[in-house]
Structures are given as C-alpha cells and as structure tokens.
Amino acid sequence: MSILIKNGYVIYGENLNVVKADVLIEGNRVVSVERNINEAADTVIDATGRVVSPGFINLHTHSPMGLLRGLADDLPLMDWLQNHIWPREAKLTPEYIKVGAYLGALEMIRSGTTTFLDMYFHMDKVAEAVLDAGLRGYLSYGMIDLGDPDRTEREIKEALREMEAIEKLNSDRVHFVFGPHAPYTCSIALLKEVRKLASEHRKLITIHVSETMAEIGQITERYGKSPVVLLDDIGFLGNDVIIAHGVWLDSRDIQILARHGVTVAHNPGSNMKLASGVMPLEKLLNAGVNVGLGTDGSASNNNLDMLEEMKLAALLHKVHNLDPTVADARTVFRMATQNGAKALRLNAGVIKEGYLADIIIINFNRPHLRPINDVISHLVYSANGNDVETTIVGGKILMLDGEVLTLDEEKVISEAEKVSEKLA
Ligand SMILES: CSC[C@H]1O[C@@H](n2cnc3c(O)ncnc32)[C@H](O)[C@@H]1O
Ligand SMILES: [Zn+2]
C-alpha cells in the first residue's frame, strides 16, 4: 500500500528543516520527500495549508489512567498515590484496564502521538488495544514488591507471563519493557533480578526515579545515598534504561546518568500539578543526557496531549531559570520526537527517506496558527492536540481528516463511562 501526502510544509530530517514538498510512503516507510512527486499512490492526501510532522513519542505514561481522570486532583505525589490512586487501582480488572487503554489510545491518535512507553497492570490487555488502535506501544508491567520476598517472586512471574503474552502477539508494534515502579516501592532483590532478566531477554527497562523530595528523603534514610547512586551501585543502570521524572538530581547523579547513557523522560505537566519540582533540564542536556518528553498518566496531567506538554516544558524552564533562551522550541520539539525514538531504539521521530512512516498532519488553516512565520514555534507555543487532523503509523492511516478509522469512537467513550460508573 502507498500514500502520497501532497503539498504540505514538511518538517524534514534531524535538523527540522521546513520544506514545501510531497511525501511518498510505501509499505511502512517513507521512500521519498520531494517537490511534485507524480507517482500514483493508493491514497492521496491533500496537505495544502497543513504541516507534515513526525508523530510524537510519549516517553512516559500510564495509558489506562484516563479512567481515573479528575478523581484525585491537587494533592502531592505520596498522598495522591497511597490514599487516592492505589485504592482505586485495586478495583481495576483486566477488562477495565483494556477499556482504559482504548480510551488512552483514542486520545493519543487524536492528538498526534504515534508511539508511547507505558507502565501499568495487565499489559497483555493493553497490547490488544494498542494493536487494534494501530499505535506503537512499549509496554511495561509495573512491578511493586514493597520489600516482601513473596511479592518479589509473584511480580517477576507476572512480568514474565505478560512478556510472553505480548511476544506471542508477534507484532513489531508492541514490545515488552521491564517496569519496576520505583526505588521506594521495589526491593534491591527485585531491581537486581530485573536487571538480569532485561539483559538476558534484551529488553528495555523503565522506572520512576528521583521524582519528589519525599523520595530522596526515604531512599537516603533507607540506603544512605541518592536513588541514582543506589541504582549505579547495584549495577542497574545502562543505555537500555529510561528513568521517568529525574527531578531531584544533583551533579553527581547527572554525571552517572550521562556515563551510563541513561535516558530521562521529562514530565513537566505532572511535575507541576503534583508540585514535585523542576527537573534540571539544562544541566542534563549540557551533560549529554538524552531527554525525552512524557505526559505521565491522565490522573496527574490530566491529558495525553504532547503538543500541550511541549509548551509546558518550554515555559516551565524559562521561568524557573529566569532565562527565555532555555528550552527553545527546537530543543523541546526534538525531545518529543527524535529523543524518544533514540531511547526506544526506534527508526522514527524524523521524516526522512528510510524512516518509519509515523507521521501526523496538522491543520494550520486556523487563526491561532497564522501567519506561518515559524512552523516549529507554532507547534510548540500555539498549537494543541485538537489541531491534529491525520495520524499515520507505519504507513497505516489511523485518523484521516479528523475521522478515527481504527476505533469506534462512540463505543470507546461509552465503555469508559460505564467502567467509571462501576468504579464509583
Ligand atoms: C505499578 S503500575 C504504575 C503505577 O504508577 C503509578 N503512578 C502514576 N503516576 C505516577 C507518578 O508520577 N509517580 C509514581 N507513580 C505513579 C500508577 O498509579 C500505578 O500504580
Ligand atoms: Zn509515572
């Protein structure tokens, strides 16, 4: 199958050059980006007045948490988790989680996310929703043992069960990732076992690290060192590790992350809403650390809109540093695309010949996006998820001109409402 996208403003290559061009997709790849391509294609999309962009890579989320949106706002992380979120999550069945995953997938397709790194429960169910939706999902079962050896064993067993179930689906669009929840909820034994298994099975690892001052206090009290030093000391870190948050990092932590090639997934919306703090973005980037962008879940954000997240990232670091040159639009755009792809070892995040055709089309025929003085500036500072019109993953059209083709939108939303009533 082939798709020809005609006459758009294309964000081309790693340097984000904006060119007026056509994009030809054959199979799951981009084969040509040129002016006036005249080849016949199965589908032709007129992108006049529109921007053709790499799809966004949400590097940290909990996609089914849309079910809990708005149920526990205006709280700090530990209170939010322990007293509001975990009691509700205890009631979630595999089928409810699948309903939540469909809702998350629908929201992501509508707002231009093509790939996401997820951490939740029953990820085999989430994988089924991801496959139906047509997205790419890197799916981690979130492991928590709270230092109880019986739970350690059960969590490892469940992770391996889910890994096998996801691998059985035999798709290049769903990948299992190991997901120990955090150093404050996982024992050293669990973390060491995860490290061993991830190396053995060649899987990525994702984990929440150094999110709040409360976490730094707990880990320092328990182990006498920072969470990053602890993970380094037990041999956990590597270039296959993606830590979520990394808010409270000192210069020693940053050097350790840089040395191991660890990626940090930045979640500015969640960090601001839970008042967790401001991650040291400039210091991480200056040290050569790969930093991607994530929304976190919809119960702490409260949506999955990566366009909104880019603006939050840019504004947060400017005001925090009292320096408007920090977190410029191009740096933030790369975080939301190329840097996420690098962390996931995915040949995407860039529009260029040979790359996967994970592409979105944004309608710029709108007053808040005119005149088109600077496409990247408009995407970071002026656009939002509702401006996305077409979403393509691996050469398959998931949404065309605002119509979602892979999911029954009404059904997804009404099922989510039903689950919410049952949970109430
Ligand atoms: C064990 S599955 C994932 C687990 O993480 C919880 N969660 C959601 N957001 C955050 C966050 O910002 N920090 C720590 N934990 C978070 C989610 O509710 C699940 O229980
Ligand atoms: Zn999280």
Tokens of 228: 């990053």
Identify the three-state secondary structure at position 185. coil
Q: How many domains does the chain have?
A: 1
Contact 234, 209 (CB under 8 A): no
Q: What is d(CA 106, CA 109) in angstroms, rounded to the nearest whole number?
A: 5
Ligand 1 centroid from CA 2, angstroms: 40
Among 85, 139, 276, which residue has the most ligand 1 atoms within 8 Å of its CB, making it the best to mutate?
85
| Residue 377 is assigned to a structural domain of this protein | yes
Instruction: Render pLDDT for 40-50 as a digit per residue (tens, 0 to 9).
Output: 999 999 999 99
Instruction: State pTM to two decimals.
Output: 0.99
Total number of residues shown for the chain: 424
Q: Is residue 272 one of the residues assigned to a domain?
A: no
Is residue 33 in a domain?
yes
Q: Using alpha carbons, select from 327, 281, 335 the residue that is nearest to residue 306.
A: 335
**3-class DSSP state of 368:** helix
Give dist(CA 394, CA 348) in Å, integer: 9
What integer pLDDT is reported at residue 24 of this predicted model?
98
Helices (H), 236-392: 251-260, 268-273, 281-286, 306-321, 329-336, 338-344, 375-377
8 A C-beta contact, residue 207 and residue 243:
yes
Quote the tokens at residue 330: 């191009």
Question: Is 320 inside a domain boundary?
Answer: no
Residue 29 included in any domain: yes
The answer as to whether 20 is a domain residue is yes
What spacing in Å lies between the alpha carbon of 179 and ligand 1's midpoint?
Answer: 11
Residue with tokens 């469909």, as numbered in its chain: 102
CA distances from 292 to 73, 153, 170, 295 (A): 25, 32, 27, 11
Give the mean pLDDT of 135-146. Answer: 99
For residues 3 and 163, give the distance between their C-alpha atoms in angstroms, rounded to a whole number: 34
pLDDT score of 104: 99
The angle formed by the CA atoms of residues 272, 84 and 186, to the nearest 5 degrees, is 80
Local confidence band at 278 (pLDDT 50, 70, 90 cut-offs): very high
3-class secondary structure, 244: strand
Task: Evaluate whether residue 148 is within a structural domain.
Answer: no
Task: Kindly state if the Cβ of 63 falls inside 6 Å of ligand 1.
Answer: no
Give me the pLDDT at residue 160, please: 98
Residue 378 is predicted with a pLDDT of 98
Does any ligand 1 atom lie closer than 6 A to the CB of residue 207? no
How far apart are the two ends of the chain, measured CA to CA in Å?
A: 46
pLDDT at 13 (0 to 100): 98
Is 255 inside a domain boundary?
no
Which pLDDT belongs to residue 359? 99
What domain range includes position 398?
Answer: 2-54+348-404
- Residues of the chain with pLDDT > 90, as a percent, come to 100
CA distances 192 to 196, 222, 239, Å, are 6, 17, 16
Q: How far apart are CA 137 and CA 183, in angstroms?
A: 24
Instruction: Identify which of 119, 126, 212, 270 to mutate to test ligand 1's pocket (most ligand atoms within 8 A of the CB).
Output: 119
CATH code, domain carrying 12? 2.30.40.10
Largest CA distance in the chain: 66
Average pLDDT along the chain = 98
CA of 244 to the centre of ligand 2 (A): 7
Q: What is this model's ipTM?
A: 0.99
Q: How far apart are CA 136 and CA 151, in angstroms?
A: 30
Q: What does the angle CA 244 – CA 249 – CA 255 come to, to the nearest 5 degrees? A: 100
Mean pLDDT for 108-134 is 99
pLDDT score for 135: 99
Which pLDDT value is given to residue 354?
Answer: 98
Query: Which residues line the annotated binding site?
Result: 60, 62, 89, 151, 181, 208, 211, 296
